[in-house]
Amino acid sequence: MKNKDIFISPLEDFAFKQIFGEQRNIDNTKAFLKAVLNLPGDEIGKLTVTNPILKKFFRKDKSGIVDIKLEAKSGKIFHIELQVEKKANMRNRVLYYGARLIGDQLKWGEDYRKLHHVVSIVICDHILLEEESSYINVYKLMNEKNRTFTDLLKVIIIELPKLSDIEDENGIIWRWLRFLKCKEKEEYVMLAKKYPELKKPIECARRMGLIESIRDYYFHKNLAKIDDLCLKEQWMIDGRAEGMAQGLTEGKSQGMAQEKLAVARNALAEGSTPDFIQKITGLSIEEIEKLRD
C-alpha cells in the first residue's frame, strides 16, 4: 500500500483498454496509431472512442465485440484488437471483424459510396504469422500484380515475440511496442527517461497498477474479514451442535434414570428385595429405600 511505484502490464485486458480505449487518454491512442501507420503530423485529426459492440441485423446473426473501436472526424474507423493467448482460426476472426466494421456503416438504402476506410490493428503476444520474420505486417486487398482492388480495408498484424530488445529503424513504433512488452518497473523507468512520448501511457500503467494493488489489498482484507466471520459462525454452529449433543445425552441419561426408578418401584410393589432390584437396575440401596417413602 505504501509503494506508489507499482506498474501493471499494458497487456492486461483492463489496463490496455484504459490506456488506449478511454476518451480521456485519446492522446495515447493517437500517438500509437501515428507510429503504427507512420503518419506525419496530425493526419488522424479528432478521434472518438465508439461503441465496440458490432450490430446485429437479424436475431440469429453472430454477435461480436471488438476490443477498441475508434472513429476519426473523416469517418475512418480504427479497430485495435489485443490477442494475448493464441486462438484457433485467428486469421478468419480478423477478416470477419474487418468485414463487419465495413458492413455496419450503412443503413438501409444508403449508397455504397458512403463507406469509410477501416484499419484493423491486431496486436499478438504470440506468433500468428509463422511465414513472416518481421514483427509488423500490413495486408491489403490486391491482385497478383500488386494492384489495389480497394483500400477500404487494411489489416495490420503486430507480433510482440518477434520484437528485438534493440531499437531498429522503425524507431517510433518500436518504442510503443517495447512499452507493451514491459513487465518490470526498471523497464518502465528506462523507457520514460529515454522517450518522453511514453511518459503518459507509462503513468497510466503505474496508476492502473496502484489501483489494482489497492483493489487486491482490500479484496484480501475483506476476504480475511469474511473468513473471520465464517470462523466465528462455525464456532457458534459447533457450539450449538455440541450443546444439542450434550442435551440429547443428558436427556437420554435422565430418561434412563426415570425408567430405572419406575422398574424399581414396580419391583418393590411386587415384593422384590432391594438386593435383587439393585442387580437389575444398577440403583444404589439408598436410592431404592427412598422409593418406599
Q: What integer pLDDT is reported at residue 232 of this predicted model?
A: 56
- Residue range 154-167, pLDDT digits in tens: 999 999 999 988 88
22 vs 56: which has the higher pLDDT: 22
The confidence band for 220, taking pLDDT boundaries of 50, 70 and 90, is: very low
Residues 6 or more apart whose CB falls under 8 angstroms from that of 51 comprise: 69
pTM for this structure?
Answer: 0.68
pLDDT at position 4, please? 55
Determine the Cα angle at 185 with ends 183 and 189, to 5°. Answer: 115
By C-alpha distance, which of 96, 102, 94 is closest to 61? 96
- Between 177 and 282, the more confident residue is 177
- pLDDT, average across residues 232-260: 61
C-alpha to C-alpha distance for 23 and 45, rounded to whole angstroms: 14
Report the 10 Å Cβ neighbour count for 20. 26
pLDDT at 253: 61
d(Cα 284, Cα 286) in Å, to the nearest integer?
5
Looking at the chain, the whole-number percentage of residues with pLDDT higher than 70 is: 76
In terms of residues, how long is the chain? 293
Residue pLDDT, tens place only, 273-292: 777 777 777 888 888 888 87
End-to-end CA distance of the chain: 79
